[in-house]
């Protein structure tokens, strides 16, 4: 199975990306297991976390076959190569950097760039993006997402990221959101794994499946 096919299968099971910004390698495996037990299948470690490549390697090894693991805040093509070497298969960025998108796609990795305009969305798709991250979602709205959905190619997955909570998901889903990236409402540095699990279950329940 290709990395993109594995992502597609994981996304179909649970279209929520856990963003573990600030996580440390010593705690990441416990938190990863807790997330998978709650139903999550997609986990991101931002590269501005402590020793992120170590954490990505631990998750990729420990959750192999159960979750797709990757990096966030990927800003350069060198970062793409480093994440791949660590075992990560998702390349997630806050911006639309065509070189980063093309490097990830060219390596057979999943590319999830951030976008805020139709121009960025179309440029990212042309470069090989797997799905698109509407970021920051706080600066947009479900109405904006609905308008985007009307112009991007049918089947394009748009994921609001930023400020998403279980109680705010319904309007986004109604507007056509395919999934979400979840940050501080799911995980904050130092949070106990049990609390992360409780929050993860609340997000899964809010999907309404």
Q: Return per-residue pLDDT of the chain as tens, 209 residues.
A: 999 999 999 999 999 999 999 999 999 999 999 999 999 999 999 999 999 999 999 999 999 999 999 999 999 999 999 999 999 999 999 999 999 999 999 999 999 999 999 999 999 999 999 999 999 999 999 999 999 999 999 999 999 999 999 999 999 999 999 999 999 999 999 999 999 999 999 999 999 87
Per the listing, tokens 């660590």 go with 86
Annotated active-site residue in 24, 29, 44, 146: 44
Q: Is 138 a catalytic residue?
A: no
Distance, in Å, from the CA atom of 15 to the CA atom of 179, rounded to the nearest integer, reads 5
Residue 64 catalytic?
Answer: no
CA–CA distance, 36 with 27 (Å, rounded to integer): 15
Among residues 24, 27, 64, 133, the one annotated as catalytic is 133
Read off the pTM. Answer: 0.98
């Amino acid at each position: 199975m290709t990395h993109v096919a594995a992502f597609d299968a994981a996304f179909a099971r649970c279209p929520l990306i856990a963003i573990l910004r600030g996580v440390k390698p010593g705690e990441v495996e416990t938190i990863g297991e807790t997330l998978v037990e709650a139903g999550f299948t997609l986990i991101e470690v931002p590269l501005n976390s402590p020793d992120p490549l170590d954490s990505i390697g631990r998750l990729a090894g420990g959750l192999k076959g159960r979750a797709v693991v990757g990096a966030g805040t990927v800003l350069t093509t060198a970062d793409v190569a480093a994440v791949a070497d660590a075992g990560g298969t998702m390349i997630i960025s806050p911006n639309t950097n065509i070189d980063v998108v093309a490097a990830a796609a060219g390596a057979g990795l999943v590319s999830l760039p951030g976008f805020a305009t139709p121009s960025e969305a179309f440029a990212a798709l042309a470069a090989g993006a797997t799905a698109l991250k509407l970021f920051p979602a706080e600066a947009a709205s479900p109405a904006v997402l609905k308008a985007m959905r009307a112009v991007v190619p049918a089947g394009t997955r748009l994921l609001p990221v930023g400020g998403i909570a279980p109680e705010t998901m319904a309007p986004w889903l109604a507007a056509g959101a395919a999934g979400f990236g979840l940050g501080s409402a799911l995980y904050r540095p130092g949070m106990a794994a049990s609390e992360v699990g409780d929050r993860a279950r609340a997000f899964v329940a809010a999907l309404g499946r």
